[in-house]
Structures are given as structure tokens and as C-alpha cells.
Structure 1
Amino acid sequence: MYKRQVVHCMAENARCGLLQETVRVVMENVDFTNVKKFLDLGGGHGLYSIALTSLNENLQAFVFDLPPVTSETRYFIDKYGASRVDIIPGDFFKDDIGSDYDVIFSSFNPGGKVPSLIPKIAGALKPEGVFITRQVPDESMKSSPLMSLDWNLWTFEDVKKGSSGYSFENSVPFSEYIDMLGNHGLEVFRALDMTDGSRIVFAWKVT
């Protein structure tokens, strides 16, 4: 029940403008003409995948998350009749995430600043595929006591939170994480600050 409440609360939060802004920014910075396969890594409610498939009739999206979470993802898929969104239950720290994705999207998930996941993400992208990651940079956390408070009110079953806001065990500062992308053939071509204090970064797979 608790995990269900968390997923639904996050969905409500996303629908208060974050979802719309993120989808708009993604559409403005990625050419979806030839994008066929999309992965929402740690995608929870799946609303980003649902929104993007509604705007792209040739897009097939997959939401990867823990099994108790994807059961709630299925609720939203059915609610919005999103027939081109599917779920992949698993633990992305341990399990295979699939392959040949045109776009991989990661937003506020536990692996979003964990360097050991970068090779897995890069390996799952097609050549010239795009990795999109959205996280709260450390400087935003330091300047926003309310954001830190919001973070500390959440707990995550079986997931160890880090000592600083929007970080988990084995996380590094977001700027350091972004610098590491190039070591795995991911070249950053755009970074934008969002209205909620988060930052969204786009990177091509160049090798």
C-alpha cells in the first residue's frame, strides 16, 4: 500500500506542470522523426512515456522499474489507454535493461547519479541514440532548504538514500556524473535548467 501511495503522489506532483514542461523540452531538443524505441529508466508512474507516445504514433515505450512499482505503472497505462507503453519489471542495478533503444530517459531515479550504471545505459543505446537525464544539481539543493526538506520527508523501501538531497547510495555530484558520460561514448549536447530547480541533460552516443 505504501509504495502505491508514493507512486500516485509522484504522479500527481508530475501533473502539476513538471510533466508538461519536461515533455515540451524533450520534444524541442530531440528529433523524434526516427525514434521508435524509448526506455523510461526507473519510470515509476510512466506518465512521461504515456505523454510521449501520445505525441508520436510510431513510438514504442518501455517503463523499467521494480516489480511492485510497475504494477502501479500498469494502472496508469490502462487509465490512459496507452497501448504502446509496456513495462519491464526488474532492478536496473542487477538486471539487463534491454537494448537497441533510440532514447533512454532517466528522471530523479535512484541510479540517476550512480557512475556504475553509465556503461549499462550506453550499451543499451543504439549508435547516435540519446540519453536524457534529469536530476537536481547539488548547488540547487544547497540554496533551497525547502527542497532539502521535501527530500528528507520521503523514504524508499529497499533503497538507501544518500546523505545529501536527491542522492542515493553510491551517488556522486551531478556535475561529476555528467563529466563521466564522455568516458563511455556519450557526448553532452544540451543542458537546461528547469523551473523546479532540476537540470535536464542530453547526450548523444557517439561511439
Structure 2
Amino acid sequence: MEAPFHTTPVPGGTAPPSGEKARRSGLIVAADRLDRGVALLLQGVLLLTGTAMMAVLTANIVARYVLATGGFDWSEEVPQQIFPWFIMAGVALAVQHGGHIAVEWLLGRLGRGGKRLLLLAGHGLVIAAYVALCWQALSVAEIVAIEHSPVLGLPGSVGYWSVAAGCALLALGTFTIALRIALLGPEALPQPAPEEIPT
């Protein structure tokens, strides 16, 4: 799998000293490896949860016509428990590829240095928001853990754990993007594939 980011040198920039250049290169390589590991994890979650939801829904449809009971009692609960993990994995993966909606009217009016500062400030706010959301999701998960689903008996906290995990990975993905922007400039901001851009 290719890294979602281009780590080519910034055109027109002054070359940093060799020690600084090696340190920057090492940080970029570490960020690339971290992103690849997170991307593999997220793709695995998407594959497993998506397959599980399709299998359960298909089995329940077949069971409605074959079994006298009219289907499985647990078939509604499984997608409810799995769907939040599916969604959060997709959202976190979209961050790595620059797939979220952005309004860039101010960014286009700034010079390269201004763009870098604005992007870093924005990414810092986003990281802080995701960390706060993660903390709140864990707090709510602790409260609703006493509730259990009627058939499977799963705690009510399962969905909130997915939100907490997703927010933590979103914060991590946003941090690696900010690191690239800090080291390479605004050109390191990931761009979605052309086919993913609405016309």
C-alpha cells in the first residue's frame, strides 16, 4: 500500500543543515510508518465490520423465509454494535487521504508562511477537539456500561468505545499531517484523489 502523503522536498525552500535534514527525514519516515500501520488497522476494521454486517443481514433475510421463527433475535443488535466501528474507521481513514470537506477561501489568499501557520493552528484545534471528544466518549461509556443489550447482553458502552477509539485515531492522523506541514510546508497537506472530488 502506498503512503497517502508525498514526502518530496519543498521546492524553493532553503536546504536545512545536514543534521537537521536527517532529523526531519527521520520524523517523516516515522510519520509515514505510523500512518501505514493505522491505515492497515482501519482497513482491517472496515473489512471485518462490513463483512460481518452483510453476513448477519443476509443470514437474517434467508432465515425469515426458511425458519418458522421468522429470523434471528440477535440480528438487529449485531449491526447496531458493529456500525459505529465501521463508521469511525472510515472517518479516520478519510482524514489520512484528505477526504473531508474543507473551505479554503482564506488559505488561497495567504503566502506560503501564512498557509503553514494557519494550517498548523487549525490542525492544533482539531487535535484538541478530538482529544476532548475521546475523553467525553470514555466518560459516557463508563456511565452507560451498566446497560446491556437485551439479546446479546453487550454493555451499552461498546458504541462509545468506538467513538473514543476513532477520535484517538483521528487526533493521531491529524497530528501526522501537522508534522508534515511543519517540516515540509503547506504542500504536504494531503489531497484527495481526483475521482473523489465532487464536480
**TM-score bucket (shorter structure):** under 0.3
Return the TM-score normalized by structure 2: 0.26
Question: If each structure's strand is expressed as a fraction of its own residues, which one has the higher value?
Answer: 1
The structure whose RCO (Cα within 8 Å, separation 6+) is larger is 2
The structure number with the bigger radius of gyration is: 2
Return the TM-score normalized by structure 1: 0.25
